[in-house]
Amino acid sequence: MKPINVGLLGIGTVGGGVFTVLARNAEEITRRAGRPIRITAVADKNLEHARAIVGDKARLTDDAFSVVDDPEIDIVIELIGGYGVARELVMRAIANGKHVVTANKALLATQGNEIFAAAQQRGVMIAFEAAVAGGIPIIKALREGLSANRIEWIAGIINGTTNFILSEMRDKGLPFATVLAEAQRLGYAEADPTFDIEGVDAAHKITIMSAIAFGIPMHFAQAHVEGISRLAAEDIKYAEQLGYRIKLLGITRRTPEGVELRVHPTLIPEKRLIANVEGAMNAVLVKGDAVGATLYYGKGAGAEPTASAVIADLVDVTRTATADPENRVPHLAFQPHSLVDLPILPLAEISTSYYLRLRVEDRPGVLADITRILADQGISIDAMIQREPDEGEEQTDIIMLTHQTRERQIDAAIRFIEALPAVRAPLVRLRLENLL
């Protein structure tokens, strides 16, 4: 059969991986796809670098618009990233009737609604397996593999940088700043690590998964986003003593009142498989009403793992490019006319368990005051550690795990507890999920 022609926009780390893997595995990929998939045009600002990878195997240009306007191109791969020119290029590719494969989670999470609407109207596909969890085929699992299920919740380790940092903090007992510096030296964290460590990258990804799990639009603006930069090494240690690990999780859950959409450091029982995902690896846990909990694990970043996802999308698009749009998997898993919108719950309305660390004076009655406040708010205590004060020390730590409760009740309890004279420092509050 006639080859399908692909234009590649941006040949950095991932783009280079796509080019390399597509060349190396051309024979097997063609045997799967039923026709050759070839990159015929590559656009990159750095022509010299691009030339070093591509050689004379494709037309090279520094004008990406010339690729999306090229009538010979069937599919455009957008690997430029960001919201600016990437958005323009994607919209123009759609207008030109080209299918788009993208790894751009930021773009989809923030502007996906208009992009998918435009693609739907023009009858082209937007494929985005590489936007979430790198090489793990989690978009496919959610949209197709679990299509029988009412999906109840998703909890994912979907940012490798922060998982690497948390693993190192636990392993070596080191503070955040030290480990971040090490991660930057090793290339696991970028020079400006804000998007990773403050949870923004994870929030983009959980926003996309939330949309396809529940058949709702992208709601990135309403996500609660909290990173790991203020996480103390001692909380990792206390959590461990209680049988928990701390992971940065992206969580989305359907409740009768609306959808929870949040990213924050989370205690999870060490016995859960996902608690044992270490280093820069990613894992996504999905709870469906029929299948129960399923877990998907692998490399969430890197040239070839991400290329694996981009190329899988190319094969999918190649297979259905000539098909009637109604035979295709809908972008957001549900048919466009049957998307619904569910409200995203404000943080005060979410329900979860909590880890509380209090710095208190070591004298009688303190614990009674604290537990009274919690009881008044209807909050039950599940486990507690009271550390013996060191010799000559007059303050000590109390750590408590609560039963499931509303965030606003914990907020109220914390206000009262922090007002107690015996409580000597702001309370540390982390969320805890049992993931059952």
The annotation places the binding site for NADP(+) at 9-16
Q: What is the DSSP string of 275-319?
A: GG--TTEEEEEEEETTTEEEEEEEE-SSHHHHHHHHHHHHHHHHH
Residue 371 CA to residue 375 CA, distance in Å, equals 6
Among residues 93, 179, 236, 311, the one that binds a copy of itself under rule CB under 8 A: 311
304 binding a copy of itself? (CB under 8 A): yes
When asked if residue 384 is in the footprint of a copy of itself (CB under 8 A), the reply is: no
Segments of 49-191 assigned E as strands: 59-61, 75-78, 99-102, 126-127, 151-157
Annotated binding site, which residues?
Answer: 9-16, 105, 190
Verify binding: residue 31, a copy of itself, rule CB under 8 A.
yes
CB of 324 to a copy of itself, least distance (A): 7
The C-alpha angle 259, 249, 347, rounded to 5 degrees, equals 40
Is 276 a binding residue for a copy of itself by CB under 8 A? The answer is yes
d(CA 403, CA 369): 19
Considering only residues 299, 331, 357, 431, which one is a binding residue for a copy of itself as defined by CB under 8 A? 299
Q: Which of 67, 250, 55, 18 is nearest to 153 (CA)?
A: 250
The single residue of 140, 205, 247, 287 carrying the catalytic annotation is 205
Write down the least CB distance from residue 258 to a copy of itself, Å.
17
CB 245 within 8 A of CB 267: yes
Cα dihedral across residues 236, 242, 244, 247: positive or negative: negative
By CB under 8 A, is residue 23 in contact with a copy of itself?
no
Give dist(CA 235, CA 279) in Å, integer: 19
Half-sphere exposure of 310 (CA within 13 A, CB side): 35
308 binds a copy of itself (CB under 8 A): yes
Shortest separation between residue 216's beta carbon and a copy of itself, angstroms: 12
Task: Mark 188-217 with x for binding to a copy of itself (rule: CB under 8 A) and - for no binding.
Answer: ---------------------------x--
Strand partners, 42: 8, 60
Distance CA 162, CA 229 (A): 9
The alpha carbon torsion through 384, 410, 269, 292 (nearest 10 deg) reads: 140
Complex with a copy of itself: residue 6 or 399, whichever CB lies closer: 6
Residues 215-234, one symbol each (x = binds a copy of itself by CB under 8 A, - = not), give x-------------------
CA distance readout (Å), 360 to 71, 391, 400, 419, 429: 70, 16, 13, 12, 15
User: Is residue 172 at the binding interface for a copy of itself, with CB under 8 A as the rule?
Assistant: no
Stretch that binds a copy of itself, among 156-164, 182-190, 294-302, 358-366 (CB under 8 A): 294-302
Residue 284 in the binding site for a copy of itself (CB under 8 A)? no
β-bridge mates for residue 293, sequence order: 287
Size of the site for a copy of itself (CB under 8 A): 68
Nearest distance, CB of residue 140 and a copy of itself, angstroms: 5
Among 335, 376, 380, 411, binds a copy of itself (CB under 8 A): 335
Computed on alpha carbons and rounded to an integer, the radius of gyration of the chain in Å comes to 24
Say whether residue 85 binds a copy of itself (CB under 8 A).
Answer: no
Q: Which of 156, 227, 265, 288 binds a copy of itself (CB under 8 A)?
A: 288
Burial pattern 105-129, b for ≥16 Cβ within 10 A else e, equals bbbbbbbbbebbeebbeeebbbbbb
C-beta of residue 238 within 8 angstroms of C-beta of residue 386? no
Interface residue with a copy of itself among 2, 56, 187, 327 (CB under 8 A) is: 327
Q: Which of 223, 298, 407, 435 binds a copy of itself (CB under 8 A)?
A: 298
- In 103-243 the beta strands, taken as DSSP E runs, fall at 126-127, 151-157, 224-225
Q: Report the C-alpha gap between 252 and 207 in whole angstroms.
A: 8
Question: Based on CB atoms, which residue is closest to a copy of itself, 33 or 60?
Answer: 33
The closest alpha carbon to 305, from 119, 50, 147, 133, belongs to: 133
Asked if residue 291 binds a copy of itself (CB under 8 A), the reply is: yes
Rank residues 290 and 436 by Cβ distance to a copy of itself and give the closer one: 290
Is 205 marked active-site?
A: yes
Residue span binding a copy of itself (CB under 8 A) among the ranges 101-109, 162-170, 252-260, 301-309: 301-309
The binding track of 121-160 with respect to a copy of itself, each residue x by CB under 8 A or -, is --------x----xxxx--xx--xxxxxxx----------
Q: Which residues of the chain form contacts with a copy of itself (CB under 8 A)?
A: 1, 17, 21-22, 24-25, 28-34, 129, 134-137, 140-141, 144-150, 215, 273, 276-277, 288-299, 304-305, 307-312, 314-316, 319-320, 322-324, 326-330, 333-335, 338
Annotated catalytic residues are 205
